[in-house]
Structure 1
Amino acid sequence: MPRPVRSIVLALALASCTQPAPPERPSPTPRPRRTPHTGSANAPATSQPSASPAAAPRAPAPAPASKPKPKAKPKPRPVSARVVARSWYRKAYLQTDRRYLARAFRRAKFELPKGAYLMAARVLRGIKQPAFQYYSIDDTAFTYSAGHYWPASTIKLMAVVGALHTLRAHGAGVGATVELDIPVDGHHKGPLTSIIERALRLSTNPDYNRLMYIAGFSTMNDVILSEANGAPYTVLQRRYGGKKVPGANLRSSPEIKVWYRGKESVIAARPEVKTEYPQCPKEGNCTSLFELSEFIRRVTLHDELPKTQRFDLSRRARKVIMAALEKSHKKLVPGASEALGNPAVIYNKAGRYPGDDHLDAALVVDTVKKSRRFLIALSVPYSYQREPGKVTLAQLNAMGAATIKALLRRGRGGPTLQLDAGVPIEVTLEHKPPEDNPRALTFEIRIRAKSKRVRIIDAWLDRSPLRERRRRRRRTRRGRRRAKRRAKRNELVIVRTFKRPGDHVIVVHARRGWRRLGYRAAVIVVDDGVSTLAPAGPGAPPVPPPDLPEKPVNKPPT
């Protein structure tokens, strides 16, 4: 090998021997384990620190959208029945016989005029007060007049009661002299008795307007026309007669000066009332035949009724009103006298409006057999035929005569309506359904008179008589006597299945022989657990007839 080449090889070998070794690589850190439940990393051991921080855990995946759960059906309430407090109007609505008059007219071959409305009641002797049996052609007694007929002047007796109520609240009475200035009818000063007499006997419209202004809109519609007075749905808004003048309405009253027993007082002007009555549109006057007859009943039978059913009328006020009603225009003469077979005295307030309706609401009294008394309210369309007044007057006369004859044929038996009186009577109910239908509306009704003098109990549920079912079997003379003694007791227990939930009326007469000792009329509310029932109790709102909203209340200022 040549010498230069050998020196190069040796230099390369020496260079490779003197190069330092590469640094040693660190051992890898062990990977942390994940728990099977949470998926989070375990904490590293302190003896082996980690060179890099642990990775952050992943965010959980969003849950899939779940379908909305269907709403659970509410559990039905338990089936129950209870006795509740209802008003006179509601009891009369449930107790009225809606079939008898139609059957009686068919048997007598009497045909009602087309579009006629009729309500009647027989006044009977009750316990410490008169008792009543109410009748109607279908549901016309409680049909609301809006859209069916126009009450016309029949509502003027209500205005008289309202005016006397307001004057009495200001320390005056029927003998007062009043002075007021009202729209259209102008200024007036005179005795109140003259206004009342003309409004009832002659049916003058300006005097009706004056009475309404004296009463006041709120007092009239919220105090006088109320559930307590038997007229929960009547509304009076429209003035009668005169030209239509903007702003001339009954919603506000002017200042009224009053002179009574040598003293002068002033009834301050009352501002306009904005209350709306949707069930009585177009600022109308709306009522029903039953509510019209209720004012006739409470005024003419004032001395015989319980205090809770009386208007606040003095003896002189009643005398003035009765005299005016007796001399007013008669629509039931001579038909009433012909049906009774004796001369009749009629206390009534009639009304008519050509092209609309001809009406009357009256108390008819037999002057010979004075126990025969009848309340009648009726309406027929006022046609435009020749001499329309005589045509419709003849129809009213014939309807009144046919009604009185039908009620005389009916007799005095059956359930009556009055306020509770005499021996206290207890009514309790207990649910006793059959085993195969635990939600059946079957109840045991227990009626008990709290007096040992009572031997016989007569009861009616929704006008159907309630009787105990007994097995018919042959008995010995001793057994018959024992059964007779057992039947005449002061307690009645029956089982009855109600056909529908809601209100039912039960009437109970407790007697000893033919002498009546106790009376009770109660409303039973049956709850099937599913239906929506009307609230009950003394403070509950009135239950309106079908398709009629509740009357709004605008409390008068104190």
Structure 2
Amino acid sequence: MPRPRLLWWPTPAIVLGACLSSGTDPGAAPVPAASAQVAAPARPAAQPVAPDPALLALRAEHPQLLNLDPARDRDGWFTMARLLADKDSLGKHYRRVDYEPPAFSRALVVTVRPGVGQPRYFHYSLGDTAFEVPRHYFHPASTVKLATSVGALWTLGALGLTGDAEIEFSDAEGLQSGQVADMVHEALMHSSNKDYNRLVRIAGFDALNQEYLSPRWGLPEMAIQARYGNRDGPTLRSSPPMRYREGELQGELPAREASGRHASCKGNCATLFELHDVQRRVMLHEELPADQRFPISLTDVERMRATMKITRKRLGRVPDEAFGAPVEVFNNVGRIPRVALLENATLVERGGPRRLFMVASVAFPGALGDTDRLVVPRLRALVRPTLDLALQAAPQGPGLQHDAGPRPGLRVAQHAQDPGRLLVEVEADAEARVWLDRRPFTPALGRAFTITGVAPGEHVIVVELGPVAAPTAYRASLVTVARVATSMQAAAPLR
């Protein structure tokens, strides 16, 4: 089957203004002393503004500064999503419509709304199931093949290649010769296990599991280490030498032998959120900040999207019925009889503005046999109320997006006597709103905000600037709130 191509949503152009510098003309003639004009008296130097006594009093009450770490924020996308996710509304909605999910069901649905220069996401998880690595009645199965495809294209991209590269190598599964794009298509379209195994070897086991599937990309728990197909086949930890050619570029990838071990996963592991987020970065590639896009070519992104548009669909008319309109479905599926059946999908209203991401998994007990006939209805029954909730719910909290706009300075401090009280100061020339996880801070004084009843542990502080209807900046930073505020620190500059 030829690989289809797909055009995606256009990205608005970004225009950068230029700065002009001024200076004196070294060739200008000096002004004669007799005709020189009398210089205007120099303005006195601006005097520092004394801090507001009320602000000083607030700072005195909140002397314990909390650490803000840019590196932690860079690697904290998964944690921020978990802290900002609504984990209650799905369960409440299921009870309201008298639906009880089968045991071991898991669900995540994500609504996409306009943000500051990019999409913003509101996550709804069935309890914490979207962010846990399940140990019973779950396996990511073939849904990891999208991440594997991205990994192979990532390794090629570092060489200046795309999926059009011809690659040749020999492994214990035989001789491979052909375009990598064809292997990606087979892995996604027909769930080819042999092509999946070879894409892992092209990516490189350590590069895939240590660099690509990493906290930097919102994938701290995900691991791809297990071959699919015959369990007695060759390991994925060894990559043979590979010859490549694309246009005038040609060369050889050397043999690679893996040394890394995943701390908590012995095979293939993933959370629902991670499966979703790999798909999100592929589907919304052009809409994301450049540093948040997978470093692969747009041509390869479009090919993967086009393949996901025509892959097999298990949801039937459920998306159309939930949206009340025709829906385009881009998806990856996974199934392991006696373990799990799952669907990872992007749902786009045809001709309309609504977009959702959805990942759902139901147990596939042995009593249901080895076919999908009895388990697919269970999956559809879980998906329908999940979509209904996401389409009907009003967003609560700030939502999550990548940082954008002028970065506001931020200072966070804990109360001396009550560790559950925080003070946040925002440095910005605009209206500001602040949240701790999904709870809003209360404006206290100018751009100082307070909140009470904060539990010890990890939290995310979100700052949004500008008018409510048209915000101009967004920043999210992780903080750890101590159980007891024990030390006194001097005031620190905003970060």
- TM-score w.r.t. structure 1 length? 0.71
Q: Name the structure 2 match of 1:521.
A: 476
> What corresponds to 2:393 in structure 1?
410
Does residue 109 of the first structure (1) align with residue 94 of the second (2)? no
Q: What's the offset of the Cα at 1:199?
A: 0.5
For the residue of structure 2 that corresponds to 1:140, the secondary structure is coil
Moved over 6 A (4+): none
Alignment-derived partner of residue 124 in structure 2: 135
Structure 1 equivalent of residue 178 of structure 2: 190
1:62 is aligned to: none
Which residue of 2 is the match for residue 508 of structure 1?
A: 463
Q: Cα offset for 1:291?
A: 0.8
Question: Aligned to 1:329, what secondary structure does the other structure show?
Answer: coil
Matched with 1:462 is: 437
Residue aligned with 2:409, SS: strand
Aligned residue in 1 for 2:450: 495
One-letter amino acid of the structure 2 residue matched with residue 259 of structure 1 = R
State the SS of the aligned residue for 1:285: coil
**Partner SS state of residue 180, structure 1:** strand
Q: How far, CA to CA, are the matches of 2:479 and 2:212 in structure 1? A: 28
Confirm or deny: 8 A CA contact 1:164 1:173 kept in the other structure. yes
Query: Which residue of 2 is the match for residue 172 of structure 1?
Result: 161
CA distance in 2, matches of 1:509, 1:131: 12
Amino acid at match of 1:113: P
Q: Distance in 1 between matches of 2:473 and 2:231?
A: 56
Structure 2 contact 419–485 (Cα < 8 Å) conserved? no
Partner letter of residue 258 of structure 1?
Y
Does 2:300 match 1:317? yes
User: Aligned match of 2:194 in 188, 201, 206?
Assistant: 206
d(CA) in 2 for partners of 1:84 and 1:394? 47
Aligned residue for 1:235? 223
Tell me if structure 2 keeps the 8 A contact 1:503–1:525: yes
Shift in alpha-carbon separation, 1:193–1:508, aligned structure 2, 3 A: same
Residues paired across the two proteins, number: 419
Secondary structure, in 3 states, of the residue corresponding to 2:112?
strand
Counterpart contact for 1:122–1:375, Cα < 8 Å = yes
* Alignment correspondent of 1:67: none
Structure 1: distance between partners of 2:403 and 2:438:
17
Q: Which has the larger radius of gyration?
A: 1
Equivalents in 2 of 1:165, 1:430: separation in Å? 41
User: Does 2:257 match 1:275?
Assistant: no
Distance 1:201 1:405, change over 3 A: same
- The letter of the residue matching 1:125 is P
Deviation at 1:445, TM superposition (A): 2.6
Q: Distance in 1 between matches of 2:337 and 2:325?
A: 32
Paired residue for 2:379, among 379, 386, 396?
Answer: 396
Please state how far the C-alpha of 1:525 moved relative to its aligned partner: 2.3
SS of aligned partner of 1:446 = strand
Q: Secondary structure at 1:390's aligned position in 2?
A: coil
Q: Identity, % of aligned pairs? A: 32
Residues 5-404 of structure 1 correspond to what in structure 2 (within 5 A)? 79-85=64-70, 86=73, 87-183=76-172, 185-242=173-230, 244-245=232-233, 248-271=234-257, 273-281=258-266, 284-369=267-352, 371-384=353-366, 385=368, 388-404=371-387
Partners of 2:213 and 2:150 in 1: how far apart? Answer: 10
Cα distance, 1:495–1:265 mapped onto 2, change above 3 Å = closer
Counterpart residue identity of residue 449, structure 2: I
**Higher-RCO chain (CA-CA 8 Å, sequence separation at least 6):** 2
Deviations 1:31-79 (A, max 9, x none): xxxxxxxxxxxxxxxxxxxxxxxxxxxxxxxxxxxxxxxxxxxxxxx85
Gaps of 5+ in 2: 1-62, 487-495
- Where 1:516 maps in the other structure, the secondary structure is coil
Cα offset, 1:379, TM superposition:
1.0
Q: Residues 494-529 of structure 1: CA distance to partner in whole angstroms, max 9, x if unpaired? A: 332344322222223333362222222222322345
Question: CA 1:499–1:285 in 2, change beyond 3 Å: closer, same or farther?
Answer: same
Looking at structure 1, the residues matched to 415 and 225 of structure 2 have their Cα atoms a distance apart, in angstroms, of: 51
TM-score, length-normalised on structure 2? 0.79
1:442 corresponds, among 418, 421, 430, to 421
2-side partners of 1:317 and 1:79: how far apart?
49
Aligned partner of residue 397 in structure 1, secondary structure:
helix
**Cα distance in 1 for residues equivalent to 2:136 and 2:290:** 35
Q: 3-state DSSP class of the match of 2:91?
A: helix
2-structure distance, mates of 1:226, 1:319: 24
Q: One-letter code of the match for 2:461?
A: I
Query: Letter of the aligned partner of 1:112 in structure 2?
Result: P
* Aligned 8 A contact 1:83 1:525 in 2: no
Contact preservation (8 Å) 2:165, 2:245: yes
Write the distance in 1 (CA, Å) between the matches of 2:469 and 2:259.
55
Change (3 A) 1:102 1:354: same
